[in-house]
Structure 1
Amino acid sequence: MLCSRFVVMFMQVVAMAPNVPALYELHFAVPMAGATLSALNVSLDEHALTIILHRLRPKIIFVDSEFAHLVSKVIDNKNNTHLQENHYDHKPLLVAIHDVSPDHRTQCDLEVPEYEQTLATGESDFQAVSPADECGPISVNFTSGSTGTPKAVAYSHRAAYLNSLGLILRYDMGKSPVFLWTVDMFRCNGWCFTWAMAALGGINVCIRNVSAKIIFDSIQLHKVTHLCGKPTILNMIAESPPVDQKRLPSVVIGIIAGTFPTIPVLERVQKLGFNIVQGYGMTEALGPALIRPWRSWQHHHEDNHDDHNLKYREGLHNITLEAADVKDPTTMQSVPSDGETFGEVMLRGNTLMAGYLGNPEATREAFSGGWFRTGDIGVRHVDGCIEMKDRARDAIVLGKELISTLDIEAVLLSHPKVVEAAVVAQNDVVAGQVPCAFVKLKKGECSNSEEILKFCEEQLQKTAMIPKSVWFGDLPMNSTGKVQKSVLRDRANAIGKHCP
Structure 2
Amino acid sequence: MGWMADETGLEKCAANYVPLTPLSNLRRAVKIWPGREALVYGSFRKTYAQYYERVTRLASALAGMGIKPGDVVATILPNLPPHAEAHFGIPACGAIINAINTRVEPDTIAYILDHGGARVVLCDSQFIHVLAEAIERMEGPAPVIIECPDDQAGVHAQTDHVTYEELLTKGDPSFDWIMPEDEWESIALNYTSGTTGRPKGVVYHHRGAHQNGMGQILSWQMTHYPRYLTIVPLFHCNGWCHTWMIPLLGGTVVCCRDITAPALFAAFADEGVTHFGGAPIVLNMLVNAPEDQRREFPQTVEVFTAGAPPAPATLAKIEPMGFNVTQVYGLTETYGPATECTWDDDLWGELKGDDRAAIKARQGVAMPAYEHITTMTSTMEQIPMDGTATGEIMMRGNGVMKGYYKNPKATQESFAGGYFHTGDIAVQHPDGYMQIADRAKDIIISGGENISSVEVEGVLMAHPDVLLCAVVAKPDEKWGEVPCAFVELKDGRTGDEAALIAFARERLAGFKTPKKIVFQELPKTSTGKIQKFELRTIAKGL
Say whether 1:23 aligns with 2:83.
Answer: yes
Secondary structure in structure 2 of the residue aligned to 1:113: coil
1:396 corresponds in structure 2 to 444
1:224 corresponds in structure 2 to 273
Measured at CA, do residues 268 and 404 of structure 1 come closer, stay the same or move farther in structure 2, by a change above 3 Å?
closer
Secondary structure in structure 2 of the residue aligned to 1:59: strand
2:113 corresponds in structure 1 to 53
Measured at CA, do residues 126 and 374 of structure 1 come closer, stay the same or move farther in structure 2, by a change above 3 Å?
same
C-alpha displacement of 1:299:
5.6
2:151 & 2:521 partners in 1: Cα distance? 36
C-alpha displacement of 1:230:
1.3
Say whether 1:91 aligns with 2:91.
Answer: no
Within 5 Å, which residues of 2 pair with 1:96-495? 96-101=147-152, 104-292=153-341, 302=351, 309-329=358-378, 331-460=379-508, 462-495=509-542
For structure 1, which segment, 199-208 or 189-198, has the greater mean C-alpha deviation from structure 2 after superposition? Answer: 199-208
C-alpha displacement of 1:115:
1.0
C-alpha displacement of 1:258:
2.7
1:27 & 1:441 partners in 2: Cα distance? 38
1:399 & 1:301 partners in 2: Cα distance? 41
Supply the AA of the counterpart residue of 2:520: G
For structure 1, which segment, 272-281 or 298-307, has the greater mean C-alpha deviation from structure 2 after superposition? Answer: 298-307
**Aligned pairs, how many?**
474
Supply the AA of the counterpart residue of 2:337: P
Measured at CA, do residues 50 and 378 of structure 1 come closer, stay the same or move farther in structure 2, by a change above 3 Å?
same
Secondary structure in structure 2 of the residue aligned to 1:72: helix
2:111 & 2:394 partners in 1: Cα distance? 30
C-alpha displacement of 1:160:
0.3
Is 2:215–2:369's contact at 8 Å kept on the other side of the alignment?
yes
Unaligned runs of 5+ residues in structure 1 are: 1-8, 496-500
1:105 & 1:307 partners in 2: Cα distance? 44
Measured at CA, do residues 147 and 376 of structure 1 come closer, stay the same or move farther in structure 2, by a change above 3 Å?
farther
Unaligned runs of 5+ residues in structure 2 are: 1-68
Is 2:281–2:528's contact at 8 Å kept on the other side of the alignment?
no
Is 1:247–1:272's contact at 8 Å kept on the other side of the alignment?
no
Say whether 1:71 aligns with 2:122.
Answer: no
Measured at CA, do residues 481 and 308 of structure 1 come closer, stay the same or move farther in structure 2, by a change above 3 Å?
closer
C-alpha displacement of 1:132:
2.7
Measured at CA, do residues 303 and 468 of structure 1 come closer, stay the same or move farther in structure 2, by a change above 3 Å?
closer
2:352 & 2:501 partners in 1: Cα distance? 32
Aligned sequence identity (%)? 37
C-alpha displacement of 1:264:
4.5
Measured at CA, do residues 236 and 458 of structure 1 come closer, stay the same or move farther in structure 2, by a change above 3 Å?
same
C-alpha displacement of 1:447:
3.0
Measured at CA, do residues 215 and 475 of structure 1 come closer, stay the same or move farther in structure 2, by a change above 3 Å?
closer
Supply the AA of the counterpart residue of 1:179: Y
Supply the AA of the counterpart residue of 2:510: T
1:498 corresponds in structure 2 to none
Deviations 1:211-245 (A, max 9, x none): 22222222222221111111122122222232332
Secondary structure in structure 1 of the residue aligned to 2:118: coil
Deviations 1:56-114 (A, max 9, x none): 12111111111122212322x2xx3xx33xxx2x431111112243xx14322312111
For structure 1, which segment, 434-443 or 301-310, has the greater mean C-alpha deviation from structure 2 after superposition? Answer: 301-310
Measured at CA, do residues 419 and 305 of structure 1 come closer, stay the same or move farther in structure 2, by a change above 3 Å?
closer
TM-score when scaled to structure 2? Answer: 0.83
Is 1:40–1:141's contact at 8 Å kept on the other side of the alignment?
yes
2:103 corresponds in structure 1 to 43
C-alpha displacement of 1:125:
3.5
1:224 & 1:163 partners in 2: Cα distance? 22
C-alpha displacement of 1:387:
0.6
Secondary structure in structure 1 of the residue aligned to 2:108: helix
1:309 & 1:189 partners in 2: Cα distance? 29
C-alpha displacement of 1:290:
1.3
Supply the AA of the counterpart residue of 1:54: D
Deviations 1:23-67 (A, max 9, x none): 100101110101000111111221221121121121111111111
2:34 corresponds in structure 1 to none
Is 1:146–1:478's contact at 8 Å kept on the other side of the alignment?
no
TM-score when scaled to structure 1? Answer: 0.89
C-alpha displacement of 1:157:
0.5
Is 2:191–2:202's contact at 8 Å kept on the other side of the alignment?
yes
Is 1:276–1:293's contact at 8 Å kept on the other side of the alignment?
no
Is 1:323–1:349's contact at 8 Å kept on the other side of the alignment?
yes
2:469 & 2:349 partners in 1: Cα distance? 25
Secondary structure in structure 2 of the residue aligned to 1:459: coil
Measured at CA, do residues 147 and 413 of structure 1 come closer, stay the same or move farther in structure 2, by a change above 3 Å?
farther
C-alpha displacement of 1:464:
1.5
Supply the AA of the counterpart residue of 1:477: K
1:494 & 1:303 partners in 2: Cα distance? 43
C-alpha displacement of 1:295:
9.6
1:166 & 1:300 partners in 2: Cα distance? 24
Is 1:144–1:480's contact at 8 Å kept on the other side of the alignment?
no
Measured at CA, do residues 302 and 483 of structure 1 come closer, stay the same or move farther in structure 2, by a change above 3 Å?
closer
Secondary structure in structure 1 of the residue aligned to 2:541: helix
Measured at CA, do residues 268 and 67 of structure 1 come closer, stay the same or move farther in structure 2, by a change above 3 Å?
same
2:286 & 2:343 partners in 1: Cα distance? 16
Measured at CA, do residues 482 and 164 of structure 1 come closer, stay the same or move farther in structure 2, by a change above 3 Å?
same
Secondary structure in structure 1 of the residue aligned to 2:304: strand
Q: CA RMSD in A?
A: 2.4
Supply the AA of the counterpart residue of 2:446: L
Is 2:233–2:527's contact at 8 Å kept on the other side of the alignment?
no
Measured at CA, do residues 187 and 370 of structure 1 come closer, stay the same or move farther in structure 2, by a change above 3 Å?
same
Supply the AA of the counterpart residue of 1:95: I
1:74 & 1:490 partners in 2: Cα distance? 27
Is 2:341–2:365's contact at 8 Å kept on the other side of the alignment?
yes
Measured at CA, do residues 106 and 340 of structure 1 come closer, stay the same or move farther in structure 2, by a change above 3 Å?
same
1:41 & 1:182 partners in 2: Cα distance? 14
For structure 1, which segment, 390-399 or 278-287, has the greater mean C-alpha deviation from structure 2 after superposition? Answer: 390-399
Supply the AA of the counterpart residue of 2:142: K
Secondary structure in structure 1 of the residue aligned to 2:183: coil
C-alpha displacement of 1:144:
2.5
Deviations 1:387-419 (A, max 9, x none): 100010110123554211111111111111111
Secondary structure in structure 1 of the residue aligned to 2:389: coil
